[in-house]
Every structure is written in C-alpha cells, then in structure tokens.
Structure 1
Amino acid sequence: MAHDADPQGASSLIERHSIDYIPHAERHGKVWHQGPFWFAGNFVLPTLVTGFIGPSLGLSVPYCILAAILGVGLGTFFMAFHANQGPRMGLPQMIQSRAQFGSRGALLPFAATVFVYIGFLVFDVILAAQGIGVFADVKIFWYPVIIALSIIIAVVGHDLLHFVQRWLTILLVVVFAVLTVAAVVHFGLSTTEVGADGGSALGWTAPGFLAMFSLAAGYNISYAVYVSDYTRYLPATASAPALITSVYAGAALSAIWLMSLGSLLAANIADADPVEAIRYAGNLVFPGFGTIAVLVSVLALISIMGVNAYGAMLTGASAVDGFREVRPTRRLRIVGLVVVGLAALVIALLIPEHYLGSFNSFVLLMLYFLIPWTAVNLVDFYFVRHGRYAIADILTPGGVYGRWAWRGLVAYVAGFLAMIPFFSLSFFVGPVARLLDGGDLSFVVGLVVSGGLYFLLARSLDRGEEARAITSSQQALEGHGDGTVDVRR
C-alpha cells in the first residue's frame, strides 16, 4: 500500500491518513485526551435509553445502578484493552484483524462493523432530530443537516474529533451534573419506586437485573471496534497502563452515570422517552433548562455521529482494499464519508418510526457478530503475538498473514454458534435465554469460546516466518526520513 506524497503534510487542516500506517514522525497527542474523548463518546442518548430497561422489567433504581456498575465495569475492561493496540501498531482498529482472519477473511467482522456504525448513525440522527424538534419537526430538512454536520467533522478528521469531544465533556458535565442533582432531589432513590405506569412497585427481579447487567456490559463491549482509530496517532512509547486507564475511566464513568440517570427517569416518568425525559428533568431546575439539556445532548449526538461515520469509512475502505488496492488519500476519505452519510440518510428517511424497536434488535444482532471478533483480536495481541506484528504485511493482502486465516475464522464461527442459545432479541429468544426469563449472557459465552479456541489453535502458528516478516516490515516502515511510508505489494 503506497502512501501518496503530500507537500502540506500533517499541518493541513484535513487529515491525510486513513487505513495506512501512521509514521512515528507524525505521532502526537496526549494519553489523558482519551479520557474526555470516550466520556463524551458514551454520554449520548442511546446510553440513557439503555438505563430504561431495568425499570421496564420491574427493577428498582438502586438495583439498576448496581447492575450498570457491574455490567459497564466488565464490558469496558475488554473495550479499553484495545486502546494499547493503536500506538503499538499505528493502524486503525479493524484493519488489524487481517493478522487473525486474513485480508479477505476479515471481511466477516468488517461487514458486521459497518452495519453497526450505520445502525448507530441512523438511530442517532433520529434522536437528534427529535431533540431539535422543539423548533421544527421536519425530518426531510433536519436529517440531511445533522448528517452533513457530522460528516464535516469526520472529514477534517482525527484531531477535530478529539478537540470537539474534549470541550463537549466540560459542557456535558456541567449541564448534566445540575440536571442529575435536580432529578435525585425531586424523585429520590428509594428501593420501592412507583412504576412508570403509575401502578406496580419496583424492587428486585432476577431477570431484570440480569438483563440490565448484560445490556450494560454488551453496550460498552460494542465500542471495541472504535478504540485504536483514536489512539493510533499517539507515540509508540505511550504508557500502556496509563492509556488503558484513561480510556476505561472515560468510557465507564459516563456510561454508569447516564444509564443510572436513565433508570431514575424511567422509574418515575410515565412512558418515558429519552428526549422528553431529559426535558422534564431539566425543567425541574428552572423552565427552559430542559431544552438547554436536550440541545447539549444533540451536540453530543452529532459529534458521536462523526465518530461513527469516521469508523465506517475506515472499515469500509479496509474491506475494499482486501480485494482491490485502494490508495489512502484524502479523496478516499472524503468519498467514503459521503457514501456513509448518504447511506445513513436514506435508511433514516425510509425507516418507519414504529420500526425503531425492531431496528434496535437488528443493531444488537450485529453486536453479537462483534463479540467473537474482540475475543480473537485481544487474545492474539496479548497472549499469542504479544504486540509484535509485521505491519507492512497487514497492509499487503498477499503478505505473511495471507488472504484467509483459518484459525481466526474457525474460532470466530465457533464462538458465534455457541452464543445462539443465549440470544435474547425481539424476534428470537434462545433456549438458555428463555430459561433465564430473557436474560442475555451470550457475550460471556462468545468471549470464552472464541478467545479460548483461538489461543489453542494459534499454538501451531509458524512464528519463524513471521519473525522474518517483522524485520523486513520494520525496515520498510522506518526507511523514509521524510515521515512518509511506501509499502509495495
């Protein structure tokens, strides 16, 4: 994969890199920036909606909060450990999968990832338009405007996304700290709230706790496909413990906060929906503050839409490159982002509003496809190859990692199949999930089966050939004093 010469270099406003390697001369940024990036990234309305599930199943707010803490605490563990891959490899997250699945075999997790990105883009634009609907509820106008804003942020790229997320974190903390205090003072946190329907009391239910725990864990695990995209510019010497801790803290704290707030609102507001619940709680502070909180939430949604579009572009380009060489130019980034934006716009305009529940199940199904991937990817990085890869060969479809890597594919498929009895969707509930009253523990099964099987299969890898490829790769990547990279196929 050849990187085009660029006389403007890293000083240009629009990011020039896409699925290519980030040379050491262009590495920049601070580890602590990852904290606010992932805090704002998770402080969005879909996270709040996740907190609604507990009260809807009869679970009281304190138990919802406990389930969120335990679930997010576990799920973020897997997500955060992907952060260390970015600075060590200098590559986006999903293209790294070629080392485990092959340049063409990686199309399986690539496809699921793109569907998840597009799915969240659609869900986010619908929620954002509902928030702006306080001024005008005209989706044919607002959908294109919202998507266009997110695409512009993504076109400028990595540094702007980090900048926006850092400042959004300050705004979100200030506004929602006030809103949260008002909600807690007004509603309280007693163990037997009156249900949202005004009738049944909430308390302990095992199915509700298990569902809330599983959903909270799976929600943050789903961010695993994003992480290295936003750590790959960090210097290779960045402290791994500090980096993982920063990502973990940002992603976990915001998720626990917003899921807990969602549970509190759902338990006390009849027929709560995310936009109206925030407006209601905000207006407890003073009339109009709820509208301010909603609009701040819309800004956070537009920013995370930029993150989703950016990731979809990188993953889509990686998939195409496995079959036909693409040049990682600015034009590729811009064209790819426009295609992603148009796809999200068409789906958002066509999808009926009453279909949102089923659409969320579709997104959840796509997340099921990502659980085996994260297990295989993390086991390979930390326990099989210990972070040492022939980067040039990852970027070369015919390199040492091949086009189809059977070990990763077998482990992936085995993990996915093992998860099926544990699935809990609106249109399918597996036999084990049915015994658990709809509780979904599929992510645990997928992680254990795929990760464990891949570790066993990887013992037969030819590490000698790869060691020689690593040496050649290092020479190819570091042989240019001007900071450019030229990897020939």
Structure 2
Amino acid sequence: MSTANEARPGGVIETRSIDHVPASERHGKPWHQGPFWFTGNFVLVTMVSGFLGPAVGLSLGYTCLAIVLGVGFGTFFMAFHANQGPTMGLPQMIQSRAQFGSRGAIVPFAATVFVYVGFIVFDLVLATQALQTVLPGGPWFWYPFLMLVAVVLAVIGHDLLHWVQRWLTPVLLVFFGVFTVYAALHLGSTPTVAKTGWTLTGFLIMFSVSAGYQISYSVYVSDYSRYLPADTPARGVITWTYLGAGASAIWLMCLGALLGTHLEAPDAVASLVTVGNDVFSGFGTLLVLISVPALLSICAVNSYGAMLTSASAVDGFTPVRPGVRVRITGIAIVAVLSVAIALALPADYLGSFNNFVLLMLYFLIPWTAVNLADFYLVRRGHYAITELFNPNGMYGRWAWRGLTAYAVGLLAMIPFVSLSFYVGPVAEALGGVDIAFLVGLVVGSGLYYLLTRGLDLGEEAVRIEESNHELAELVSQGLAAPATTEHLGVEQ
C-alpha cells in the first residue's frame, strides 16, 4: 500500500469524492484488484446465495454448475467496468452522466443506492449473528456499533479499505480452506436432506441469482480502480478483478450449496459453527468470528460507494463541493438509514434475500448494458472529463438516448420476470424460467447502439481535446490532474 502522502496529500483521511483523481495521486498495481475483490466477495452473504440451489430442487452438481456459469457471466461485466477507473479517474456512477445526462443519471443512481443499502443491511445482520455466538447484546447495540466501525473505515477511505482487504485475504484462505476440505470429505458421504436433481427452472434461477450477485458490484467497481495510473494496462485490471471476484464467489456459493444439500434448514452462521466445531472444538466459532472483519470491510465499501453515488445524484441538481465534509456527511446518512432498515427487518429476512438479488439484476442490467456499450462500442473510452461536471455541457442534463435505452430495456424484461410475488406471462409460459436478464442486455445495449449512430463523435473529439487542456490548466493551478487523449482512451 502506498503511503498516505502519496494518495492523500492533505493527511490520513481521503479527500477525493466525486471529483477527478489527479495523476499526481495515482498509485497502486493491477494485481491489487485481485485480493480486494476476493475478500470483498468472501462474505457470509455470498454463501447464503448458494443455499438457493438445493431449495429449488437442484442437486449439488447442478447447483455448482449453475453457480460457475452464472458467476462467470456476471463477473464479466464487473471486470470490464473496472477498466473505466484508471481510464477516466472517476467514480463509477459519475461516468453514467455521459449516457444519461447530469440529471438523467438519477434513474440508475436510485437503483444503485438501493443495492448498496440492501447489502449493508444483510451484512450487519449476519455480522451480529456471528458475534452473538460468543458475546451478549442484541441488534439495538450491535447494529449501530458495527456500523460505526464500518463508517470509520469508509471515512478514512480508499487506501485503508484496500489494505484491509489485502491482508484479510490470506487469513480467509487458510481458515475457510480447512473448513471446505473437511466439509467436502465428511458431508459428502452423508445423505441429502431433500430430493434433488435437475430442473430447468431451478437451474436458471440459480444462474440468474449468481449472475445478478456479481453484476451488483458493477455499480462501484471502478471506485476502487480509479486511483490506478492512467496508463495501467486494461488487460491487467480486467483479469485481476475477474479472478478475485469470481474465485471467491464460486467458492463460497458452492460451499453454501454443499451445506444446503446436507443440512436441515441451513443457516450461514449456525452451519459454520456446527460443521466447523466437528473439525475441533471451537473452530466453527472461530470461523464465524473471522468472518466479521470481512463483513465490516464490505459494509465500509458499500457505504463509501453509496456516498459517492448519492453525492453524484445531488450534484446533478445543485453543485456539491467535493471534500472531506461531503464524504463524512454522505457516509453518515447512509449509515443511519442502513441501521434503521436493519432494525425494522423481520426475523425471516433471508426469505427476501433472493428476491432482493433478482430485483438488483433487473434494475442494473439495462444500466450496465448502456454503460458498457457506450464505453467500448460507441465512444471507445474517449470522454471530456470536465464536461461530465458541466450541466450545460455536451452531455447535457437529460440524455434521451441513454434514458430511452434503459427504460425500454427495463420494460422489455417485465414479461420474462419470475419472482415469488410476480411472474411475467412469458416466464409463466416457460414454466417459471427467468431469462429477463438476457432480454435486458440485448435490448438495452442494442437499442443504445442504434440510437447513438447519429452522434457526431468528430465534434466530441474536439471538445475532448479542449477538456484535456482545461485539466492541464487546472493542474497548473494545483487544482486537478493533467489528462491526455492517450490516457483517456481505451487500450487497443
């Protein structure tokens, strides 16, 4: 990890929020994305997702196959968003202004904040359950206390979060490695608790949940790659992000599927304690306690991302002065909201988890389709950074092309949706099979690409060059970083 002075000239606390990261503050290596996202995904909430396969009638083998394919598919989008960080030096959702406009971006922003807060809530609940295995105290104590720890991590910011994630990785590898080997050897020889096998509906549900879980990280993945040097090779950022996030998701989801196949009424904390204590007395309890720092770390990551997204949304309507005060205020608001929702959750909250993941998938698929199509197919990574902060600039307040593609993509998915409380007519005709995400991807990206065929990219290129000169002028005043056309382009 680089020193605080390298990344944050003003002190220990990160000063950047929704603003552009100057070249003088860029640091880090592409491989740092690997452990960051490995640990970011190595949380009990990920394991809970694996319980779904046996619950919908899939055997362990078919569940794991659906997980591998779903994670492999969903992580693809996440990893390619990661390359936007070093290329543009901006938080993930600020980039959406190029497709949706400074105010129009409020549409995907709203869905994104919902994702952040939802995951914080589930993480708080599971961390509390883990601590209650050895410590007294109920939710009214633990939720605010744990959230306060996450807030401190988020306020200090980017470098500390990277450092925590990096050092947690080997710890999680060792302890969960021992547990996984033991569980595979001993549970594998016990009978299953329910009749499982193959169902197309169950397989696609497990695939969709796995993919949606990974795609949910797309909304803030470049928040943690934006400090990398602008000339960082795209291949390295994409590969390390993909390997880190994909490996931990497949591991924990398949572990969850193993526990769900062989244990009655599997529960994330209780299952680890029960099976882990068979390894040796106290090992299961130690395992869940080791899970708590990872849960708190990802709570901090989600709080940090929610702050950036919320500040971006507000800035679209009234100027926000980036800085420490904005960061602390935004993180505090997110923390209070998350604790309040967690305290209001019913005891059977996990029953709503799968619906939550699928809803995330539905709302985020059209956004990722539009965003990636613009970055890789339309503008090919070339953007006028200063114009993203200019509501009267070339990207405008309400960008009709992106908004139209998002809305049509979202509406096109509705007939294919399959939830516990609503099944679309096409999904019902297919026996409950949910292919909504494929429809949203094709319609969202395809329509956006067609609508942008009339864009005058030559004129935009002139404005990009002017923007580069503006950034150079700002940096000469000590206010921003220089950015060249080469640095703003996607590596070919």
Shorter-normalised TM range = over 0.9
What TM-score comes out, normalization by structure 2 length? 0.93
Judged with a 3 Å threshold, the aligned counterparts in structure 2 of structure 1 residues 486 and 247 are, in CA distance, closer, same or farther, namely closer
Q: How many angstroms does 1:106 deviate by?
A: 0.4
CA distance in 1, matches of 2:353, 2:262: 26
What secondary structure, in the 3-state scheme, does the structure 1 residue paired with 2:320 have?
A: coil
What secondary structure, in the 3-state scheme, does the structure 2 residue paired with 1:10 have?
A: coil
CA distance in 2, matches of 1:234, 1:112: 27
Deviations for 1:2-26, whole angstroms, at most 9, x for unmatched residues? xxxx999526110000000001111
Q: Residue 111 in 1 paired to residue 110 in 2?
A: yes
1:328-367 matches, cutoff 5 A: 328-358=322-352, 361-362=355-356, 364-367=358-361
CA distance in 1, matches of 2:149, 2:381: 37
- Which residue of 404, 409, 433 maps to 1:410? 404
Q: Which moved more, 1:271-280 or 1:459-468?
A: 459-468
- Which residue of 286, 290, 294 maps to 1:300? 294
Q: Aligned AA for 1:452?
A: G
CA distance in 1, matches of 2:56, 2:137: 32
Q: Residue 321 in 1 paired to residue 320 in 2?
A: no
1:394-405 matches, cutoff 5 A: 394-405=388-399
1:11-410 matches, cutoff 5 A: 12-134=11-133, 135-188=135-188, 194-196=191-193, 200-358=194-352, 361-362=355-356, 364-410=358-404
Deviations for 1:215-243, whole angstroms, at most 9, x for unmatched residues? 11111111110111000000011010111
Judged with a 3 Å threshold, the aligned counterparts in structure 2 of structure 1 residues 115 and 423 are, in CA distance, closer, same or farther, namely same
Q: How many angstroms does 1:363 deviate by?
A: 5.2
What secondary structure, in the 3-state scheme, does the structure 2 residue paired with 1:353 have?
A: coil
Deviations for 1:36-65, whole angstroms, at most 9, x for unmatched residues? 000001111111011111111121111111
Q: Aligned AA for 1:175?
A: F
Identity among equivalent pairs (%): 61
Q: Number of matched residues? A: 476
Q: Aligned AA for 1:179?
A: F
- Which residue of 393, 405, 417 maps to 1:423? 417
Q: Aligned AA for 1:216?
A: S
Q: Aligned AA for 1:178?
A: V
Segments of 5+ residues of structure 1 without an aligned counterpart are 1-5
Q: How many angstroms does 1:356 deviate by?
A: 4.5
CA distance in 2, matches of 1:232, 1:8: 12
**Hey, what does 2:488 align to over in structure 1?**
none
Judged with a 3 Å threshold, the aligned counterparts in structure 2 of structure 1 residues 427 and 84 are, in CA distance, closer, same or farther, namely same
What secondary structure, in the 3-state scheme, does the structure 2 residue paired with 1:425 have?
A: coil
CA distance in 1, matches of 2:478, 2:60: 54
CA distance in 2, matches of 1:103, 1:139: 39
Deviations for 1:176-224, whole angstroms, at most 9, x for unmatched residues? 00000000110127xxx7443xxx4322222222211121111111111
CA distance in 2, matches of 1:282, 1:437: 39
Judged with a 3 Å threshold, the aligned counterparts in structure 2 of structure 1 residues 426 and 82 are, in CA distance, closer, same or farther, namely same
CA distance in 2, matches of 1:201, 1:355: 25
Judged with a 3 Å threshold, the aligned counterparts in structure 2 of structure 1 residues 346 and 333 are, in CA distance, closer, same or farther, namely same
CA distance in 2, matches of 1:426, 1:473: 49
Judged with a 3 Å threshold, the aligned counterparts in structure 2 of structure 1 residues 359 and 47 are, in CA distance, closer, same or farther, namely closer
8 A Cα contact 1:183 1:284, kept in partner: no
CA distance in 2, matches of 1:436, 1:52: 24
Q: Which moved more, 1:459-468 or 1:271-280?
A: 459-468
What secondary structure, in the 3-state scheme, does the structure 1 residue paired with 2:128 have?
A: helix
Q: How many angstroms does 1:369 deviate by?
A: 1.1
8 A Cα contact 2:414 2:436, kept in partner: yes
Q: Residue 485 in 1 paired to residue 480 in 2?
A: yes
Segments of 5+ residues of structure 2 without an aligned counterpart are 483-492
**Hey, what does 1:3 align to over in structure 2?**
none
* Runs ≥4 residues deviating over 4 A: 6-9
CA distance in 1, matches of 2:320, 2:119: 26
Deviations for 1:264-292, whole angstroms, at most 9, x for unmatched residues? 00001101111111112211211110011
